[in-house]
């Protein structure tokens, strides 16, 4: 991301904070932090995270929230382990999850005293946390939902959507490179999901948009394409070519190859 784009993104987050007083953070679809405003942690959360056990619980809360949002593709509002209100909202492009908006570290607007949450907090930090708790920005849950809906609708958010989408467009090249490097392996939708941290539906949508085919069809095409190259440029036995291209069954390989090119692998080699 160039400096100008980051400055524009920060300006958007600053405007949102000026209007709502709500902290906001943007993540890509792999849950990598892109940008935040104003500071990463409030004084309360920064203090809390100095305790290793509390920090681990904070991270687990974040992971669980991302997982729920990724599975449902819907906004998820919850109370964190320390009693604060948080919200993660998906950034979608044509049904594909491309990032997240994370809003958090909010003191609930409903009567919430420090004593109500003190038992959840590390005892050695309670005095310091008491001082910072009242400084947290309170907001009602319905207003939190409204704020994220406004953010989703505003022109600035459309820029954000476009920027993240531009960043994610390289996914086709990365998938193409990965498939090319693993043709001999048992490639599948599941293996691509694990490699690129995407859901099945997201993988299907990406292949439809970028490759104009299903996952299985594209992998078969690349394997046969590699087979053609090896048949023309090497003297490897056809059975070995089949294995290198990820089709271990020689008879099945010959059948698929003939169906695609109208001739057997041996005939193709002879003609080329």
Round to whole Å and give the CA distance between 186 and 42. Answer: 47
Alpha carbon distances (Å) from 18 to 11, 139, 228? 10, 15, 60
Rounded to two decimals, the pTM is 0.57
Round to whole Å and give the CA distance between 189 and 202. Answer: 10
Domains defined along the chain, listed by start: 3-168 (3.30.450), 171-271 (1.10.10.60)
Quick check: helix, strand or coil at residue 1?
A: coil
> Residue 240: which of 184, 181, 180, 179 has the closest Cα?
184
| DSSP alpha helix (H) spans, the chain | 3-20, 43-48, 52-72, 114-117, 126-133, 141-153, 155-168, 171-181, 189-196, 200-206, 215-233, 238-244, 250-261, 265-271
Please list the pLDDT of the chain residue by residue as tens digits (272 residues). 444 456 777 887 888 888 887 888 888 888 888 888 888 888 899 999 999 999 999 999 999 999 999 999 988 989 899 988 898 988 877 677 888 888 888 887 766 788 888 888 999 999 989 888 888 878 877 887 787 777 666 544 655 666 666 665 577 888 898 999 999 998 999 999 888 888 898 899 889 888 899 999 999 999 999 999 999 999 999 999 999 999 988 899 999 999 999 999 999 998 88
Q: Sign of the CA dihedral 188, 194, 196, 200? A: positive
Q: Are strands 24-28 and 138-139 parallel, antiparallel or unpaired?
A: unpaired
Q: What is the pLDDT of residues 50-65, one digit of tens each?
A: 999 999 999 999 999 9
Q: What is the pLDDT of residues 240-250, one digit of tens each?
A: 999 999 998 88
């Amino acid at each position: 991301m160039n400096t100008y784009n980051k400055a524009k993104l920060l300006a958007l987050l600053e405007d949102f904070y000026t209007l709502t007083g709500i902290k906001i953070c943007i993540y890509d679809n792999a849950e990598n932090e892109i940008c935040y405003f104003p500071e990463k942690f409030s004084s309360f959360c920064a203090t809390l995270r100095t305790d290793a056990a509390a920090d681990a619980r904070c991270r687990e809360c974040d992971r669980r929230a991302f997982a729920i949002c990724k599975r449902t593709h819907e906004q998820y509002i919850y109370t964190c382990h320390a009693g604060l209100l948080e919200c993660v909202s998906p950034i979608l492009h044509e049904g594909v999850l491309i990032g997240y908006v994370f809003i958090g570290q909010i003191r609930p607007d409903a009567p919430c005293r420090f004593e109500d949450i003190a038992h959840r907090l590390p005892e050695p930090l309670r005095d310091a946390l008491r001082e910072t708790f009242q400084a947290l920005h309170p907001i009602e849950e319905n207003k939190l939902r409204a704020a994220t809906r406004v953010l989703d609708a505003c022109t600035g958010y459309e820029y954000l959507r476009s920027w993240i989408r531009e960043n994610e467009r390289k996914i086709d090249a990365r998938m193409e490179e990965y498939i090319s490097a693993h043709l001999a392996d048992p490639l599948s939708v599941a293996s691509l999901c694990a490699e690129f941290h995407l859901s099945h539906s997201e993988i299907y949508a990406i292949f439809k948009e970028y490759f104009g085919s299903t996952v299985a069809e594209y992998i078969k095409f690349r394997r046969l394409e590699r087979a053609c190259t090896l048949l023309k440029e090497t003297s490897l036995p056809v059975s070995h070519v089949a294995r290198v291209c990820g089709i271990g069954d020689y008879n099945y390989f010959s059948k698929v190859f003939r169906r695609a090119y109208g001739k057997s692998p041996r005939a193709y080699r002879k003609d080329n």
